[in-house]
């Protein structure tokens, strides 16, 4: 996927100066973060420069810059920790967090690998909604042999094997690019990959 074709989200210096962020993180945020159009191809991550923690939230939030939400603004934030530059996931009220990546560049590289992985996967078939009569007619046509499987058992097995290879390649990339993102207990990327393996995303 060509990053040049993506929309970018920019962070203003005045909004960043109250955080003691590493210079490399400040420069990256001011250059803009690539914003893909499909949430499902970006592990649900949507960058946003207007996020704020809920009033009266955890005191640790003063050192956390929210840079993205996951699937829904009310569900989960991705934040940059001021002291370490690490990326953590937490709720809009702050509090407990899960390790995501060691730094912002690792997050962007891992998200790009995930996007490429999702683009290589075959599209999921659209759900079919039938009323009782339509279902009866389709079942009768199937019994008469007029409806054939879209792919053979061998083709299905080949597709599943290819998907397993793609999942392994993505896991290998994440482990090589940022080992901590899969090693740490309860890490965010571990949960993402478990959902991929279970066919949930």
Residues 34 and 90 in one domain: yes
- The beta-carbon contacts of 25-28 under 8 Å, at least 24 apart in sequence, are 25/80, 25/85, 25/103, 25/104, 28/104, 28/105
Q: Which domain holds residue 23?
A: 3-103
Decide which of 52, 80, 103 is a domain's last residue.
103
Q: Would you write out the chain's pLDDT as a tens digit for each of its 201 residues?
A: 444 456 899 998 887 888 888 888 988 998 999 988 888 889 999 999 999 887 665 666 778 899 999 999 999 999 999 888 999 999 988 877 899 999 999 999 999 999 999 988 765 555 667 778 877 777 777 777 777 666 667 767 777 778 889 999 999 999 999 999 999 999 999 999 999 988 888
Decide which of 87, 103, 119 is a domain's last residue.
103
Residues 188 and 118 in one domain: yes
Query: What confidence score (pLDDT) does residue 59 get?
Result: 67
Decide which of 73, 103, 133 is a domain's last residue.
103
Query: What confidence score (pLDDT) does residue 4 get?
Result: 46
Residues 38 and 70 in one domain: yes
């Amino acid at each position: 996927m060509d990053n040049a074709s993506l929309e970018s989200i920019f962070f203003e210096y005045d909004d960043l100066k109250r955080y003691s962020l590493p210079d490399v993180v400040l420069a990256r945020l001011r250059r803009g973060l690539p914003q893909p159009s499909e949430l499902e191809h970006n592990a649900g991550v949507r960058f946003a420069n207007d996020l704020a923690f809920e009033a009266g939230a955890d005191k640790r939030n003063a050192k956390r810059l929210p840079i993205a939400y996951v699937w829904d603004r009310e569900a989960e934030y991705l934040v940059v920790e001021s002291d370490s530059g690490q990326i953590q996931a937490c709720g809009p009220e702050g509090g407990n967090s899960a390790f995501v990546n060691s730094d912002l560049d690792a997050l962007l590289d891992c998200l790009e690998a995930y996007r490429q992985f999702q683009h290589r996967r075959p599209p999921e078939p659209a759900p079919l909604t039938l009323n009782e009569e339509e279902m009866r007619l389709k079942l009768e046509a199937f019994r008469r042999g007029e409806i054939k499987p879209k792919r053979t058992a061998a083709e299905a097995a080949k597709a599943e094997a290819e998907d397993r290879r793609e999942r392994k390649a993505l896991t290998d990339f994440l482990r090589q690019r940022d080992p901590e993102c899969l090693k740490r207990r309860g890490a965010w990327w571990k949960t993402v990959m478990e959902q991929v393996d279970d066919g949930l995303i």
